[in-house]
Amino acid sequence: MPSEKAVMSASCRFWMQSLLVSSLCHLITAYSQRDRAHDLMSRYPLIDGHNDLALQLRILHNNRLSQIDLHNVSKVATDISRLQAGHVQTQMFSVYVMCGAQQKDAVRLTLEQIDVVRRMCTEYPDFEVVTSAQELRDSEMRHKIGCLISIEGGHSIDSSLPALRMFYQLGVRSMALTHTCNTPWAESSSNLYSVFQRQNDSLTEFGKAVVEEMNRLGMIVDLSHTSWDTALAVLKHSRAPVIFSHSSSHAICNHSRNVPDWLLHKLKSNKGLIMVNLHSKFISCRDEANISRVADHFDHIKQVIGAGSIGIGGDFEGATSFPQGLEDVSKYPALIQELLERNWTESELADVLRRNFLRVFEEVERVRDQLGFIRPSEVQIPSEEVQNACRLVLGRPDPKELPSEQSASSRADHRSAGLLILLLPSLFWI
């Protein structure tokens, strides 16, 4: 009979061998899933619904692109090198100005942010501005990073449909109806600002006109940051699918920026899209989170409305904290690996990565084409709803109220301004 010492030695060797085999299997499996995630993303590169790099370019560099190399930018989570490493093929770049600019210079600031996005996406050959679903597909074929421009907050149009149309002419293809402040015509999910408070009127008649004009133009309506009542009203009114460009599941984290299940069902009926936000506070309702918790949001939304209604809207550069392992745009493959390990199929993930967004974008364009016979809307918001002292009331000035030396020149100026106002409607058909 073998000695007790020999038996213990054999047992120890067996235990060590089992541990080694188990460790090797784990490493091989993990490597395989990582490899699988990268391979999948190389075939179906990501369309990311929300990134605030333009905001950081203003904050850190005052929009002076000549001071930086966008291939490698410090103090941010986004640059060309990391977008490529993360298999991000199209990035929706947010054009955002603070709510404090509402009723002041929001339009000018928005124009400046559009300018910096267009500059970076034309001055760097790795980027390419895209304004249609077909251009998006073409940019993938050319191995470019497509730049879609989105306005984050309806205060940027200063309650003006002509301003909305001009932004479309500049390449804007999506707009969030609110940010952290109400507009005169739509309600925010945030109570940070106490402006334009209304009772039982979360989307006014002018707000409906904004949605209708966005449908007519072929501009994607974005409901991230709107109140649930506003989102519901839009879902009932819009003729085209809508998106939540960077929102997560309220059932997993009960933050007001997230979407409850009952509203997800309405989104499903609209054939729209929720693009999951990665900000830690929207993922775990705390400043810390991990990839597993992010995947919980994907799992829950998939269970409620299916993988065909899900996308990804990271919110990099616009939020302060991100889950461990998802700290910048290069880390997206780690999220896809986690979902593969949770038995998501490659077809489901191909939908999440890009096919769902392309479907929505194409349907928005189809609705636009159906509405091509409709003239540009001339709906104007009632002045009492705007309550903006900075707005000039156009009309002939009273000479009695002007200093005598300015009266003649002012009358001439107003005649010229009136002539310009008369001419403008005939110049554009948008």
Choosing from 87, 155, 179, 279, which is the catalytic residue?
A: 179
Pick the catalytic residue: 48, 187, 222, 315? Answer: 315
Tokens of 344: 């998501």
Please name the residues in contact with 87: beta carbons below 8 A apart, sequence gap of 6 or more.
Answer: 38, 41, 42, 45, 46, 332, 333
Instruction: For residues 33 and 333, give the distance between their C-alpha atoms in angstroms, rounded to a whole number.
Output: 10
- 48, 52, 222, 328: which is the annotated catalytic residue? 52
CB 41 within 8 Å of CB 333: yes
* Residue 261 appears among annotated catalytic residues: no
Q: How many CB atoms lie within 10 A of CB 99?
A: 20
Element containing residue 418 per DSSP (H, E): helix 404-423
Q: One of 79, 152, 213, 296 is an active-site residue; which one?
A: 152
Contact of 259 with 247, CB cutoff 8 Å:
yes
User: Which member of 225, 250, 279, 297 is catalytic?
Assistant: 225
Of 49, 130, 31, 38, the C-alpha closest to 91 is: 49
61 is an active site residue:
no
| Cβ pair 161, 211 in contact under 8 A | no
Q: Which of 87, 155, 246, 297 is catalytic?
A: 246
52 is catalytic: yes
Look up 246 and say whether it is catalytic: yes
Nearest C-alpha neighbor of 215 from the set 246, 247, 237: 237
- Residue 288 appears among annotated catalytic residues: no
Q: Is 179 a known active-site residue?
A: yes
255 catalytic residue (yes or no): no
- The angle, 0 to 180 degrees and rounded to 10, between the axes of the packed helices 161-169 and 106-123 is 10
The residues carrying an active-site annotation are 50, 52, 152, 179, 225, 246, 315
